[in-house]
Amino acid sequence: MIKIPTKLQLRGDRVEVVATEAAEIVVDIFNRLGCSDDTSRAITEHLIDANLCGMESHGVMRVMQYAERMRNGTMQVGIRPEIRQTETGATVVDGGMGNGIPTMKLAYETAISLTAETGMAAISILNTGHTGRHGAFADDAASNGFLTICTGGGNHRVHGMVAPHGGARGMLPTNPWCIGIPGGERGPVVIDFATGKIAGGWIYAARSADALLPEDCIIDRDGNATRDPQDYFDGGAILPMGGHKGFALSLMAELIGEAMLGPSSPECNWFLIAIDTRKYRQPDALKAAAEEVLADLRNCPPAPGFERVEIPGEREREQRRRSNGVIAVPQETWQQVLELSENLKGK
């Protein structure tokens, strides 16, 4: 069995599935739900890659969530994201209330294209559903020489998931931040994290897999610490990452997403900045300087309980290599995917 990094304490087993075989099943699911074939494949490839990278919170467990939203109309099918300009000249990628993975892919491509003149661009991404694992987009951009900074927020009265520091009720979304920059010999450095102690996807993954969450991540409706994901869905909340610091990052994202960009629907508004690093330093010089920093950090003696110091972004790429085209999915989660596939074929 492939060893994968996970935050879940499974009560059951995992099943190994060849990624290409899993992709055929998932593409068919989205096609039957009404997505165009290229949209279905874009979503599927992104989800499968998340599993290959060990990020199962953004992997195939999302299929059931996306399917539910496509069925109830909160995530539109048969639409494509569009680029438009506001009256004040700002560039917007409009997701048309569809799945956010093709939308975010277009957003990164658009932001990078716009850097051609000045070396820097900023765009907003609006009207989009769940946008997937941002680290994948940032990694691709950094591999081509671009620093990207992306954050999302808004709709806190609808998506009150994370308690503010000192609070006992969910008041803010998980409001992620993602930054990617060209790195050293082992590729880009990428950070991609929610501002809660745990991403909402891990809670969905835990419920899907009948698993327990790590300690000190969520509270129940009475403010008590719990590991049971169902307690979150029954009125609990996620704790802020790093206490007041995570709360501050989340608040900043919320103000950018809603106060600056306007009302958000159906989830977050996103703000993306892209910078061509070649405007500041030649690629070989940047790579060499980055490698000096990263090598020093990798050579730091590990603390008790750790094998080594890891650089953000390298773990995911190494996990993808070790996965060798096979994903290890909680058995209960994969059974739900298969049952959804069979139910859609029967209609």
Each domain of the chain, given as residue ranges in start order, spans 9-345
Count of C-beta atoms within a 10 Å radius of residue 119? 14
Instruction: List strand residue ranges (DSSP E) for the chain, in order.
Output: 9-10, 14-18, 82-85, 91-98, 120-128, 146-153, 177-184, 187-193, 211-212, 218-219, 225-226, 237-238, 269-276, 326-330
Q: Are 201 and 185 in contact (CB under 8 A)?
A: no
d(CA 237, CA 160): 8
CATH label, 9-345, candidates 1.10.10.60, 3.20.20.220, 3.30.1370.60, 3.30.70.20: 3.30.1370.60
Q: Provide the residue-wise pLDDT of the chain in tens; the chain has 347 residues.
A: 777 777 777 788 999 999 999 999 999 999 999 999 999 999 999 999 999 999 998 999 999 999 999 999 999 999 999 999 999 999 999 999 999 999 999 999 999 999 988 999 999 999 999 999 999 999 999 999 999 999 999 989 888 999 999 999 999 999 999 999 999 999 999 999 999 999 888 898 899 888 999 999 999 999 999 999 999 999 999 999 999 999 999 999 999 999 999 998 778 999 999 999 999 999 999 999 999 999 999 999 999 999 999 999 999 999 999 999 999 999 999 999 999 999 999 86
Q: Are 193 and 162 in contact (CB under 8 A)?
A: no
Q: Are 176 and 186 in contact (CB under 8 A)?
A: no
d(CA 337, CA 330): 11
As beta bridge partners, residue 190 has: 180
As beta bridge partners, residue 172 has: 162
One-letter amino acid identity for 157?
A: R
* Model pLDDT, residue 261: 96
pTM for this one?
A: 0.92
- Two tokens, residue 180: 């990617």
* Model pLDDT, residue 5: 78
| Phi, psi at 338, each rounded to 5° | -65, -40
Count of C-beta atoms within a 10 Å radius of residue 242? 13
One-letter amino acid identity for 224?
A: N
* Model pLDDT, residue 171: 96
Which residue reads 């050579």 in tokens?
299
Q: Are 161 and 173 in contact (CB under 8 A)?
A: yes
